[in-house]
Amino acid sequence: MTVDKSLMSGSTTILILKMLEEKDMYGYQIIETLAQRSNDTFNLKAGTLYPILHNLNKQGYVESYEKEEGNGKVRKYYHLTSEGKKLLKEKHQEWITFSSAVNRILNGGVSYESV
Amino acid sequence: MNPYDEIKAYSKTVCEQIRWKKAHKVIAEEIENHICDQRDAYILQGDDEITATKKAILQMGDAVSVGMELDRIHRPKPQWIMISLTALLMLIGALANYFIDKSEYTLFSFAPYIIALTVFLICYFLDFTVLGRYAGYIYLLVLAFSAFQILLGKSVGGRMYYSTGRFTVSLSYLTLIFPLAYALLFYSLRHMNYKGIVLCEIGFVLFAVVLLLIPSFFGFIIFSITAFANFYICALKGWFGFDKKQGLLLALIIPISAVILALVYIIINPGFLTGITFAFNPYNESDGYGYLSCLIRDLLVNSKFVGKGSVPYRFESNIPEIPFAKTDYILTAITYNFGWIAFIVIIAVILAFSVLGIYYVTRQRSVLGTLLSLSIILTLILQASLYIINNLGFGIIPEVSMPLISYGKTALVINSSMIGFMLSVFRTGDIIKDSSISLLKPQSRIFMKMEN
């Protein structure tokens, strides 16, 4: 099922941070993993990913480094910093508050948590 | 258009939207790599190369929009606060020198400050990676130039000077570039593993011996501490290819060899130890070794919070003159003439500069940016600290300058250019990738011969 892009735009950063919390990844790997984990619901365009990644890098939430792969290809990996971990925690909390509020309204005052 | 050219054309369009040209190479490389990964995935799914490339480019999104987004993120960081602090220190220096010795002042006396400011701005706007490109050459050039000057220089009042025509260069001030040149040697040898360590040690001993021959013991202390800090950071970050523990142990060769060299120097020059004794107890010989320190302490005791201090009791009605006030004791002279408030203001500016400088050094990601900025900020902080200690009456021979404040054209120009380079690192260091700096390696030829 495809999802309206505007629904995804607010949550892209948290999804990217979550991917990097597990392990260091390069851009293409982030998109692929995200698509696999969401059963292709989140098909992030690379043109959306890189400005977000570069901005997070600039703000110190992620760090980048280069690593040579077995085939001689040099890839740019992104690593979540301790500040990035804090940001993820905050965003996660924000998301829980937001989504449960939306759910409460959609379910006529009953949140999914209480169902 | 062949498929790879299409990828290149896409990344070119993205980069055309980014005004900061320095960022182009890094961004283009990442985008092209991504498209190639995506293309390979489509090929594995059964597409031919042309179709796969087209689909991969389509997946990237509109090149102009992506470029515009990246343009908003990638901008050089103008260092307005650091530039203001640098200009403020220069202004304090020019005014202090003028007020302390008005008689010798003409409009021409401000020329060194104008030259220093110009040099500073040139270095600030210069691409600092040029130093990385010629790293090995710069080290060898500085070494050869210093050795040449030691042979031809003359000792005046315990200091070495080299004169040619109207120009006189103070060798103790010239050695302020040793930590920077050594950081460049580090940079150029970082991939050589154990050989690199051995060559770094040789490089350290050569500079250290030059410093002790001048002699500039304080220069030797600044150089040794900075060299150790460079080695320590390289070991900590694994830039020499060793694991952290092994690297940190190897870093100890710098302080060990520094202590050995210092001991040899003290054994050869026993008078140096006497000087140190009097630095702590100058009143034991207030008319000899300890004269200057006693005078400084007396003047500081009689300094007011605001305004000119009173004449120390032992001088009766004669106002004492501080020898070498402009070069070696400008802080004491400022404090005595204008009060402790002036001293506090200067220290506050130096402190703000140092703290901000250290903060920006810790934000550097590239090896070259880190080593360069670390060696420069440490040289400046250690210089200022030793100068302040001397000016509080705990000195022997202050062979260092107060960055940008004390008189000394060589030191002024060297310090200004180093600060310029450091701010150039802070301005553009974010986007610098060590792998994109093509190294011209004199060491690979010279040192390979040694290895053979």
Q: Provide the number of structural domains found in chain A.
A: 1
Specify if A95 maps to a domain: no
Interface test with A, best of B73, B237, B365, B366 (most A CBs within 10 A): B73
Domain enclosing residue A29, as ranges: 5-84
CA of A45 vs chain B CAs: smallest distance (Å): 6
- Give residue-wise pLDDT tens across range B291-315: 788 888 888 988 999 988 888 777 6
Specify if A102 maps to a domain: no
- Name the nearest CA neighbour of A42 among A62, A76, A19: A19
pLDDT value, residue B343: 94
- Give residue-wise pLDDT tens across range B118-141: 999 999 999 898 898 899 999 999
Helix (H) or strand (E) holding B184: helix B178-189
Contact A76 B30 (CB under 8 A): yes
Which residue did the predictor score with more confidence, B193 or B223? B223
Q: What integer is the mean pLDDT of B287-293?
A: 75
Of A32, A46, A76, nearest to B60 by CB-CB distance is A46
Is residue B84's pLDDT more than 80?
A: yes
Rounded percentage of chain B residues whose pLDDT exceeds 90: 42
Locate the chain B residue with the closest alpha carbon to A59.
B73
B72 contacts on A by Cβ (under 8 Å): 51
Specify if A39 maps to a domain: yes
Which residue did the predictor score with more confidence, B314 or B381? B381
Q: What integer is the mean pLDDT of B181-204?
A: 88
B27 contacts on A by Cβ (under 8 Å): 50
Candidate ranges B173-177, B346-350, B436-440; pick with highest mean pLDDT: B346-350
- Give residue-wise pLDDT tens across range A72-92: 778 889 999 999 999 999 999
Contact A54 B74 (CB under 8 A): yes
- Give residue-wise pLDDT tens across range B207-243: 999 988 888 888 899 999 999 999 898 888 878 777 7
pLDDT value, residue B417: 95
CA of B129 vs chain A CAs: smallest distance (Å): 18
- Core vs surface per residue A73-95: b (16+ CB within 10 A) or e: eebbbbebbeebeebbeebeeee
Specify if A36 maps to a domain: yes
Specify if A93 maps to a domain: no
- Tokens, residue A29: 């790997």
Write the DSSP assignment of B351-402 as a string of letters: HHHHHHHHHHHHT--SHHHHHHHHHHHHHHHHHHHHHHHHHTT--S---S--
Is residue A111's pLDDT more than 70?
A: no
pLDDT value, residue B445: 41
- Tokens, residue B78: 């103008």
A47 contacts on B by Cβ (under 8 Å): 60-63, 65-66, 69
Rounded percentage of chain B residues whose pLDDT exceeds 70: 90
Chain B interface includes A45 (CB < 8 A): yes
Q: What integer is the mean pLDDT of B27-36?
A: 91
pLDDT band at B345 (very low <50, low <70, confident <90, very high): very high
Of B59, B70, B365, nearest to A50 by CB-CB distance is B70
pLDDT band at A108 (very low <50, low <70, confident <90, very high): confident
Cβ contacts of residue B162 below 8 Å, gap of 6+?
A: B149, B152, B153, B154, B168, B169, B171
pLDDT value, residue A85: 95
Least confident of A106-110, B11-15, B258-262, B298-302: A106-110
CATH number of the domain within which A51 lies: 1.10.10.10
B33 contacts on A by Cβ (under 8 Å): 26, 28, 73-76
Chain B interface includes A83 (CB < 8 A): no
Mean per-residue pLDDT of chain A: 85
Chain A interface includes B12 (CB < 8 A): no
Cβ contacts of residue B423 below 8 Å, gap of 6+?
A: B79, B82, B83, B86, B124
Chain B interface includes A72 (CB < 8 A): no
pLDDT value, residue B298: 87
Contact B435 A66 (CB under 8 A): yes
Of A51, A64, A73, nearest to B73 by CB-CB distance is A51
Chain B interface includes A58 (CB < 8 A): yes
Specify if A46 maps to a domain: yes
The pair phi, psi for residue A5, each rounded to 5°, is -60, -35
Specify if A111 maps to a domain: no
A71 contacts on B by Cβ (under 8 Å): none
pLDDT value, residue B449: 42
Chain A interface includes B370 (CB < 8 A): no
pLDDT value, residue B394: 81
Of B27, B61, B363, nearest to A47 by CB-CB distance is B61
- Name the nearest CA neighbour of B345 among B293, B412, B405, B408: B405
Which residue did the predictor score with more confidence, B156 or B354? B354
Q: How far is CA A104 from CA A4, A93, A111, B96, in A?
A: 21, 17, 4, 70
Is residue B409's pLDDT more than 60?
A: yes
Model pTM score: 0.82
Contact B38 A28 (CB under 8 A): yes
Is residue B367's pLDDT more than 60?
A: yes
Q: What is the count of residue pairs from A and B with beta carbons less than 8 Å apart?
A: 55
Chain A interface includes B238 (CB < 8 A): no
Specify if A37 maps to a domain: yes
* Gap between the Cα atoms of B318 and B35, Å rounded: 81
